[in-house]
Amino acid sequence: MTTAPRRPLLAVVYDTGSASAATIRAAAGRGCDLLFVGDRNRPHVAGAWAGLAPLGALCDVTGLDDAGRVRAVAGHRPAGIVTFSEYQLRETARLADALGLRGHTPRTVTLLTDKAEQRAAFAAAGVDTLRFRPLSPDPRAAVDAVGLPAVVKPRRGAGSKDTFRLSTAQEAEAVLGALPADGAFVVEELLRGDPGVAGPFFGDYVSVESVHTGTGSRQICVTGKFRLAEPFRETGMLLPCSLSAADQDAVLAVEAAAVKALGVSSGVTHTEIKLTPDGPRVIEVNGRVGGYVPEILKRATGINLIRLAIDDALGRPVRDDLTPRFRGVTYQYFLAVPDDGGGTLSAVEGVDGLTALPGVDHVEIHAVPGRTYDRRDGTQSHLGVVYGQAPDHAALEATVTSIEAAFRPVFRSEPDRPTT
């Protein structure tokens, strides 16, 4: 009687991020078993921990020092390691290095997770010369050196949380005075977008999704975006994007230079690119799958980014047929807190009419009456997501216009708060 070969074990350093545990389990299929590595001092991990047990083995590293975490994970003998959380990229790289597994090098993960270091690497490689300064130790001197208009963002973070525009000296004073005292921030020159590149209805930025293996980097697609809500909140994405072939080529060239400058040679990256009058410019490179991107790419093309990341972490060759083929336009639209709204949600009106709109397939409502929503929390402050398809970009514009007219959140008035 022969025994079936043991499936490889993939360690997943778990935290809030761009893929749920169930999505990771589904993408892994029968190709490997999962080991969820988690620190229950992290709120998201603590809330999800009990629900992870049916999906894989658990490695609890709560309270362990660095050496103890390495020993705990090593005891399970994983064949690979991966994370889908921005907040665990450094820890995952450290564990991969200690265990001799595939992953970002310590230097590359620093460049991927520290926006000031990333900007310095771009400048050194001649990729981009955007003016920037760390806010510490002298925030006002940093803003003066960069000039206005500018943007302030956390040196480490995701989802546009605590990201602010500085247009005037008065705004700069208000924002600098309201920033969390325990956070590290960077100030950057504000890139001016050109709405004519993607079209005035769509966003003046895109993202590029790429996979990096031992045989090189492969760009999968340019993901289109809807226009940002104030101050820098994403409102959704679409595939294919609305850029011309020439503009897409220019975006892809900039992305390739950016990931090369950071030394990326493994995993999946999500690179945000601003479409400016002077051509595409790098906003930032993220060393993990972009939020919400796996769902829309799989729905539009069948390509599974989570599976690609898993295969790369295990040292497997990724699939060859990664050229996306689109039928119509697939989209997901975030129901954002209004630019002039926020506060305690009283009610949500118009939800029943959303599913009846042409081009709408599914609606998820996350809004909870009585809960407080603040646009400063970034993209994750949205109230729901609408999923659907349209025959072309013009039809998509009509659908989204109808969505915006139908969905009506009602907020209770709150005391004034800094909202720059």
What are the phi and psi torsion angles at 336 (to 5°)? -80, 155
How would CATH label the architecture of 9-101?
A: 3-Layer(aba) Sandwich (3.40)
- Give the residue-averaged pLDDT of 266-275: 97
pLDDT tens, 58-73? 999 999 999 999 999 9
Comparing C-alpha atoms, which of 34, 36, 17 is closest to residue 79? 34
Domains 9-101 and 131-189 alike in fold: no
Query: Could you please report the per-residue DSSP string of 115-169?
Result: HHHHHHHHHHHTS----EEE-SS-HHHHHHHH-SSEEEEESS--TTTT-EEE-SH
- Give the residue-averaged pLDDT of 4-29: 92
Would you identify the CATH topology of the domain 193-326? D-amino Acid Aminotransferase; Chain A, domain 1 (3.30.470)
Q: What is the pLDDT of residue 163?
A: 86
How would CATH label the architecture of 131-189?
A: 2-Layer Sandwich (3.30)
Q: Look-up: residue for tokens 């981009």?
A: 128
Residue 33 has pLDDT above 90, yes or no: yes
CB atoms within 10 A of CB 194: 14
Where does the pLDDT of residue 413 fall: very low under 50, low under 70, confident under 90, or very high at 90 and above?
Answer: low
Q: What is the mean pLDDT of the chain?
A: 93
Q: What is the pLDDT of residue 3?
A: 53
Q: What is the pLDDT of residue 71?
A: 98
Q: Look-up: residue for tokens 């769509």?
A: 202
Where does the pLDDT of residue 159 fall: very low under 50, low under 70, confident under 90, or very high at 90 and above?
Answer: low
Q: What is the pLDDT of residue 403?
A: 97
pLDDT tens, 369-411? 999 887 767 666 789 999 999 999 999 999 999 999 999 999 8
Residue 187 has pLDDT above 60, yes or no: yes
Would you identify the CATH topology of the domain 328-414? D-amino Acid Aminotransferase; Chain A, domain 1 (3.30.470)
**Residue 46 and residue 38: Cα distance in Å, rounded?**
8
pLDDT tens, 322-367? 899 999 999 999 999 887 767 899 999 999 999 999 999 999 999 9
Residue 420 has pLDDT above 50, yes or no: no
Q: What is the pLDDT of residue 124?
A: 96
What are the phi and psi torsion angles at 20 (to 5°)? -75, 165
Where does the pLDDT of residue 416 fall: very low under 50, low under 70, confident under 90, or very high at 90 and above?
Answer: very low
The phi-psi region of residue 211 (left if phi > 0; otherwise alpha if psi is between -120 and 50; otherwise beta) is beta
Q: What is the pTM of this model?
A: 0.93
Residue 31 has pLDDT above 90, yes or no: yes
In the chain, where the domains are located: 9-101, 131-189, 193-326, 328-414
- Give the residue-averaged pLDDT of 271-298: 96
Lowest mean pLDDT among 83-87, 238-242, 365-369: 365-369
